[in-house]
Amino acid sequence: MQTERFGIIDFFGIFIPGSYLGGMMLLGVVGLLDLTGIPDSHIFIFDKIKENQTFFAAVFVFVSYLLGVVLRLYAPESIDKLSTAYLKLLRVKKEWVTDSFPYSSTLIPVFKRSGTSAITDFLFSINPKFGTKPYFNYCKLLIVAKNPALAAQVHQAEALVRFLSGTTWGLIVGIIIALMGFITFSIKGLKFLTIFYGSVFIMSFIILLLILRRFKYQRRREVEIVWRCTYLVLTDGNNSKLSK
């Protein structure tokens, strides 16, 4: 569920993965043209871009934004599972690694250890379904309706998760394109393009792994913020020390 706000994180969360994917798709087109046997197609394409820089820049920005919007629409659940699998591969020995969204079985003990169990106890007393995904979405709607300031905090956390999720999807597609380009140009013996596509593949793969390592932690942070803000909304800000 996405909250109805739009900020700087949202803009970059759309444009960055979209522009990356747009650039990789352009490189993919170059690779496909080379496969059809058109000689020096990459030189021809980039020469045309240089001749019409303003037009191609406008088209690229527009297409990148559209691609970013599409990537943002995909729910983070699949990336959450990929993050879990990667953390298991790294043998990260944390209980929350195998916990499912919204991670209530491992987050509730965190509140208890930090001395803020009054938050989770209060929320559970109001609704025994506290800790489930439907109730989590309800909490976000409640915060948006009742407190714009707290809604901004929730939206910022959500936007960051969406940014990481969209970027991951873009990287996955980009890695496939880069790998295909690397194989194509290595077979054709074009050394520079082989090195270029290989470098893009390696850099994209490294960034993907860094995001997968961070993603689940950031999404847990979003849940924690939603719970704390819900507590403040339902108690009218009383016992605010517990919300920090």
Instruction: List pLDDT tens digits, range 95-116.
Output: 788 888 888 888 888 787 777 7
> 178-187, 198-207, 219-228: which has the minimum mean pLDDT?
178-187
Query: How far from each other are the two terminal CA atoms of the chain, in whole angstroms?
Result: 24
Query: At 128, is the secondary structure helix, strand, or coil?
Result: coil
Please give the DSSP secondary-structure letter assigned to residue 40.
Answer: T
User: Mean pLDDT throughout 56-60?
Assistant: 88
Amino acid 37: pLDDT: 65
CA angle 200, 203, 204 (to 5 degrees): 80
Judge whether residue 122 has pLDDT over 80. yes
Alpha helices in the chain (DSSP H): 8-35, 41-51, 53-73, 77-89, 104-113, 117-126, 133-146, 148-188, 191-234
Judge whether residue 45 has pLDDT over 80. no
User: Mean pLDDT throughout 202-206?
Assistant: 96
